[in-house]
Amino acid sequence: MNNQEIIAEKISFLIERSSYTKSEIARLMGVTRGSVQGWTRKGSISRQNLIKLCAMLDVSLDSILVDNENSYVVDNSEISILKEYIKRQIDLYPNTKIEILKAIKTMLDS
């Protein structure tokens, strides 16, 4: 199983486990239902949407990006890029859910 398939499987599992339907997730995230289908079938999801999805489902990024052997399913450079992207987003929106953002930023800085 390749990395994209692992990500797709995890996204699919987390959505099924949640109280949301794929249509509700699409509507709340401002994407099409077809996009959500792509995430669950192909694992093709943007960084921004992955972060939003994790927040919506109340799960960590690691729950999707780390495999069962505690290895990242994406390479370390992708993890670094993702962490930097999140940090920039937090810095851009300092008044949005401040406590959550501070906790995430602290985690990413470690």
Structural domain boundaries in the chain: 1-59, 75-110
CATH fold for the domain made of 1-59: 434 Repressor (Amino-terminal Domain) (1.10.260)
The predicted structure's pLDDT at residue 60? 82
84-89 long-range contacts (CB < 8 A, ≥24 apart) are 85/47, 85/48, 85/51, 86/51, 89/48, 89/51
Give the angle subtended at the CA of 75 by the CAs of 74 and 81, to the nearest 5°: 90
State the Cα–Cα distance between residues 9 and 11, nearest whole angstrom.
6
Contacts for 43 with CB less than 8 Å, ≥ 6 apart:
3, 4, 5, 6, 7, 8, 9, 11
- Classify residue 73 by burial, with Cβ atoms within 10 Å: 0-12, 13-18, 19+: buried
Verdict on whether the full-model pTM lies above 0.85: no
The predicted structure's pLDDT at residue 3? 81
Per-residue pLDDT of the chain (110 residues; tens, 9 = 90+): 778 888 899 899 899 989 899 999 999 999 999 999 999 999 889 888 998 898 888 888 877 877 655 554 555 666 677 777 777 767 776 666 666 666 666 666 65
Instruction: Write the DSSP string, 41-57.
Output: HH----HHHHHHHHHHH
The predicted structure's pLDDT at residue 78? 65
